[in-house]
């Protein structure tokens, strides 16, 4: 039985519209009009925004990806057509795609680099890789989640020496790797709700659960592109750094700030390489340098499989969103702070098949190596 559809709407700045609110006149194609239109849509239908992830971030000359229930799709399509918006259905049966996402032919009872792994398998892997390679990797706990899970951090200091470029980098740089940041939310996607994206914290005064961890950092907190509604997917939290996960990462970075030269956070989806700011349209001091570095990094990424990325400041390249970890890291003095939005551009969205894990990792590592070499050549 088909339970969900995934649609993409193309928003053209000059798109005509036959939608006429009874008490409000808003010019078609403007930001205010489009946001008003989608607010009306959400009043009548259950809409889960994927990209951007809230009505407030919708802009002209862009695409909006969202999910609706199958029994509402005909009405939603009619609503879009009546109002002159171009659309396409990208996923006809989301539940089926959730199942077919696990398409890897790799047979493994434990952790696999080419499969999606449960938290239990990831946790066991962190212990194993550190125990079997003590001269290369160490494991520490930087905090616990709301539900009491340990947040493991791996420190890679050396490699086996079979890859010359990486060996040279690790001889001169240490890498701190947090395999999963929002562990509780990740576990929940395996056990209850595949599309869950917030933490699992609870707060007084609301029955709604969770905070968007990437709206919870002290970087223009809750000013733009975030919600103060606890039931929203972009809820910024009751206070800045309210989440235990945020606190753990922030405390670790603050304690090691003198030695941290770059910060990279990895998300999905959109095939973008972003740098600060997302909290505002203000250009950072080293904007030209960061833009050139991002351009060179995605050029390197594309050499392997031809995957095309776009790049630029977060606010203007994808959408404005305050409270992000990359903006916060940059404001702490970490000059090179980037966010990768990995594959794809919407055909699978958050449900990228396992068969694309390896090529995604391979090409992304080329960009990471390029950034690492650049940082080494421009230490500060």
DSSP-assigned letters across all residues of 170-227: HHH--EEE-S-SSHHHHHHHHHT-TT--S-----TT-S-----GGG-SSSSTTSSS-B
Catalytic residues: 341
For residue 11, the model assigns a pLDDT of: 54
Reported as a single tens digit per residue, the pLDDT across 32-43 is 777 888 888 888
Residue-level pLDDT at 321 = 96
Residue-level pLDDT at 37: 84
Residues of the chain scoring pLDDT < 70: 1-6, 8-30, 159-162
Element (H, E) at 95: helix 94-100
Q: What is the pTM of this model?
A: 0.88
Q: What is the pLDDT of residue 313?
A: 98
**Domains in the chain, please, with CATH?**
4-100 (3.30.70.340), 119-377 (3.40.630.10)
Residue from 103, 111, 106 nearest 132 by CA: 111
Residue 288 has what pLDDT? 98
Nearest C-alpha neighbor of 344 from the set 334, 333, 356, 355: 356
Q: Which three-class secondary structure state does DSSP give residue 299?
A: helix
Residue-level pLDDT at 160: 62
């Amino acid at each position: 039985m088909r339970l969900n559809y995934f649609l993409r709407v193309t928003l053209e700045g000059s798109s005509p519209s036959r939608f006429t609110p009874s008490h409000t006149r808003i010019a078609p194609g403007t930001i205010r009009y489009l946001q008003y239109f989608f607010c009306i849509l959400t009043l009548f239908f259950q809409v889960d925004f994927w990209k951007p992830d809230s009505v407030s971030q919708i802009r002209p000359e862009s695409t909006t990806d969202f999910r609706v229930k199958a029994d509402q799709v005909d009405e939603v399509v009619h609503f879009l057509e009546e109002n002159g918006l171009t659309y396409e259905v990208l996923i006809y049966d989301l539940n089926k795609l959730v199942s077919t996402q696990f398409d890897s032919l790799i047979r493994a009872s434990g952790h696999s680099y080419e499969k999606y792994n449960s938290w239990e398998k990831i946790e066991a892997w962190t212990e194993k890789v550190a125990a079997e390679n003590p001269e290369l990797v160490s494991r520490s706990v930087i905090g616990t989640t709301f539900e009491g899970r340990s947040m493991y951090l791996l420190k890679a200091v050396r490699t086996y020496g079979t890859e010359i470029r990486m060996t040279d980098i690790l001889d001169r740089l240490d890498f701190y790797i947090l395999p999963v940041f929002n562990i509780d939310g990740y576990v929940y996607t395996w056990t209850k709700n595949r599309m869950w994206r917030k933490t699992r914290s609870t707060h007084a005064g609301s029955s709604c659960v969770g905070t968007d961890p990437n709206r919870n950092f002290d970087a223009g907190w809750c000013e733009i592109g975030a919600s103060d509604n606890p039931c929203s997917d972009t809820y910024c939290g009751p206070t800045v750094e309210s989440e235990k996960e945020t606190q753990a990462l922030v405390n670790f970075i603050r304690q090691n700030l003198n030695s941290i030269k770059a910060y990279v956070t990895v998300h999905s989806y959109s095939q973008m390489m972003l740098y600060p700011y997302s909290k505002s349209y203000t250009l950072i001091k080293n904007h030209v340098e960061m833009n050139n570095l991002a351009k060179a990094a995605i050029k390197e990424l594309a050499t392997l499989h031809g995957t095309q990325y776009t790049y630029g400041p977060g606010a203007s390249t994808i959408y404005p969103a305050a409270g992000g970890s990359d903006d916060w890291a940059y404001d702490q003095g970490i000059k090179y702070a980037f966010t990768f939005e990995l594959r794809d551009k919407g055909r699978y969205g958050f449900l990228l098949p396992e068969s694309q894990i390896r090529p995604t990792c391979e090409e992304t590592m080329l960009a990471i190596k390029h950034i690492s070499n650049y940082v080494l050549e421009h230490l500060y």
